[in-house]
Chains A and B, each alone.
Chain A
Amino acid sequence: MKHDELDRVVNALRPATVDELADAAYERRPDAALVRARAGTSAPSPHPARRRRPAYALGATAVAAAAAVLVAGSLSGGHGGARNGPNGTGGARTFLLASAETAARQPATHGTCWYSRTRMWQDLVPFKLGPGVPTPKVERRRTFQARTASSTEDWRCTLPGGTGMRFRTHLPLDVRVTFPTKKDEAAWKAAGSPPLDVNGGTTATKPHTVTYDKGSHLVNPEIGSHEIEWRTVPKLPATKSGLEAYLRRLWQQDREGGAHGYTAPADFGQYVFVSAWDLFMAPTTPGTRAALYRILADSSSVHLTGRIRDREGRSGVGITAQGTDVRLVVDPATGRLLDYEQLPDLARGAAGEYLAFERQGWVDRIGTVPSS
């Protein structure tokens, strides 16, 4: 779908009733003086230097602090791992260059269908009352904490001739629910044991398969605001200089303003890092993966978060970049991406996202699974 059509669809989804209700509420609104009187006296800022400092700036600081706490917690046992990997950009460079060597040694394979099996976790968090906020409505509160997990199988197959593709998705698989405490589980049961959200449905959804034919637009990886045609992914530059020149050209275009409001970060390494996820997930060649690691190794904003054991029990090394809340976990033995993690926004009570890549590879027939 083209961007302008997407804009039209999104804009049209906002019901006209919203504006009608807003107009009616505006007509009924209390006088501003009454709002001020009810609110009490405004408190002038005690620190003139901080005047006009928005509340969200404080929130952002808290988010960063919370994220730092989480990373430390994860590394020191949050995922059952130990902090024994080299951190910092120096360690990152060494690790990323080693990963480049490892990736380059992997065999180049090909087929007609790119298979991937991905596991997604969702954290469901209870409502938390904060200071000075209105009393919540009881019926909408979640009273328990839970974590759901399910896997999805995807096949992305090129069809002979043209750019058409056939897709198949099989989900939700191996659904699991865990509660951090028996008290949480008891609260869930007390709430009537409601089905909980998983990717593609709820914990009550039976596994099902959907097969359909569409254009490659569904799966084309993106670098910044640039969509990379699926068929050309294996043809991306396989040398550091070639790939870097290609990515820098895209970055410069996105610096000037990409599609749908995207503006690339000023830091090239950060730009590459946030695009790396798509490239590692797509059927890029070992040479392209190696080149990507070498480009990331040159970036001072990319750093390690340490060696960890992921939620599947696999050992890997976490990498992230300044200005992002995403962590990628790389398998040092193969250079493959193991996990994608978006850190939760603890200060605001929002859950993060966690994806683990259980298996990837080429197959020649839809519905079959690669042997390794």
Chain B
Amino acid sequence: MDEREARFTRLYETYYRNVFGYVVLRVAPQAAEDVTGEVFAIAWRKIDEVPERALPWLLGVAKNLARRSHGAAGHQRGLVDRLAGLTTDADRHAWDAADHVVARDQALAALRALSPKEVEAVTLTAWYGLEPAEAAKVAGCSRTAFTVRLHRGRRRLARALDASPDPATEAPAPRSRVIQEKP
């Protein structure tokens, strides 16, 4: 095994789970293994172009393949739908046990309120441990643009979550009044 083959094998073993975890939230689960395999096939063909910190590069390839497989428009909305679809009772129990200030469904609803780019920014940094500069490369934008998206996304998410009813009370909390009105 030469140096390039050894490097590829290290990447493959180290990042397979990360790439699959990213892909499975963007394509149908039954297609996720194929897309993940394609990501690493491309990584091997372009092994000399893969940077030392390879995960952002791999996720960037995965993003492009997932988009090309399923269309760009609405794929982040699909991400939220897939989150909901993959949620199990175990997640709900864990959520309840963690004593969050909002219900899980409300948190998902709040995530839907974000723009696709904001959802991407928030999840890339939170779930994949990427620094903003690395995540910006996955998102395909400048670091400045990314940090703005991240900042606005987190703020909008926080506000949407703040607007959610308190799960501990059936009625709105004191000083909180929500009225659905006709136009």
Contacts and interface: CB of A to CB of B under 8 A. Distances in A.
Interface in B158-183: 158-159, 161-163, 172, 175-183
A18 B25 contact: yes
A295 to B, nearest CB: 18
B50, B73, B74, B172 interface centre (most CB from chain A within 10 Å): B73
- Chain A interface size, under 10 / 10 to 19 / 20 to 34 / 35 or more: 35 or more
B142 A133 contact: no
A36 B4 CA distance: 11
B45 A212 contact: no
B159 A217 contact: yes
B44, B138, B141 interface centre (most CB from chain A within 10 Å): B141
B86 A40 contact: no
A12 B44 contact: no
B142 A325 contact: yes
Given A142-B73, A350-B117, A212 B163 contact: yes
Given A17-B88, A323-B145, A345-B141, A141 B71 contact: yes
B141 A325 contact: yes
Contacts of B33: 25, 28-29
Contacts of A16: 88, 90-91, 94
Interface residues of B, number: 106
A208 B181 contact: yes
Contacts of B56: 54, 56
Contacts of B67: 348-349
A77 interface: no
B86 A35 contact: no
A125 B102 CA distance: 34
B48 A217 contact: no
A26 B154 contact: no
Contact of B163 (A21, A125, A218): A218
B104 to A, nearest CB: 7
Interface string A32-56: 1101101111111100000111111
Contacts of B144: 265, 270, 274, 323-324
B62 interface: no
A349 B88 contact: no
Contact of B46 (A33, A42, A167, A261): A42
Given A15-B87, A209-B181, A140 B41 contact: no
A107 interface: no
A219 B159 contact: yes
Interface stretch (A3-11, A80-88, A91-99, A244-252): A3-11
13 contacts: A3-B154, A10-B157, A15-B83, A17-B87, A21-B24, A25-B16, A25-B17, A134-B38, A260-B150, A325-B142, A345-B141, A351-B72, A351-B116
Given A324-B144, A350-B116, 11 more contacts: A6-B158, A13-B108, A16-B94, A22-B17, A25-B24, A32-B5, A55-B46, A124-B74, A136-B68, A217-B162, A260-B150
